[in-house]
Amino acid sequence: MRSAVEPMISSLAASRMSDEQLVELRGTVDQMRSDIDDQYSFLDANKRFHDVIAWSSGNALFGYIIESLLSIMDGTAIGIDYPQYRREAILKAHQEIYDSLAARDPELAMERMREHIEAYERYAERKFPQVMNEIIPWEQRFFA
């Protein structure tokens, strides 16, 4: 679902996000860069990155959808891990997405987000095939 929705959201954000939202987004990239050795802080900044873009699309529904999905889609609830090399790849992708949004280029923002989400899907399917079909009980994710 993310591979279809987030690229479109990024395209909208490229033309709709405020300068303040762009500064906030830049802060998440900076945090990821400075905290690349701290997986918890890195993943927190990752979630905020996607959240800022969704809310910057100008459509509150997208903000709520992505906010809800982010809580489960990073895969940590089902055992997906992000070693250093993967965090570096995510940081590079986020920098490219940020650059396309800062350039206010909807097509490039859509393409960069599509590449990023597809890379995540390939990583998860290759490295964690056993968990890709797992059902995440709502109570486990939010009340454990």
Nearest of 33, 13, 51 to residue 90 by alpha carbon: 33
**Whether 51 contacts 67, CB under 8 Å:** yes
Among all chains, which residue has been given the structure tokens 């393409």?
111
What is the tens place of the pLDDT at every residue in 61-83?
A: 999 988 888 766 666 656 677 89
- Sign of the CA dihedral with 30 first, then 104, 92, and 5 last: positive
What is the tens place of the pLDDT at every residue in 23-49?
A: 999 999 999 999 999 988 999 999 999
Ranges of H-type helices in the chain: 2-16, 19-34, 39-56, 60-73, 84-102, 106-127, 138-143
What is the structure's pLDDT at 133?
67
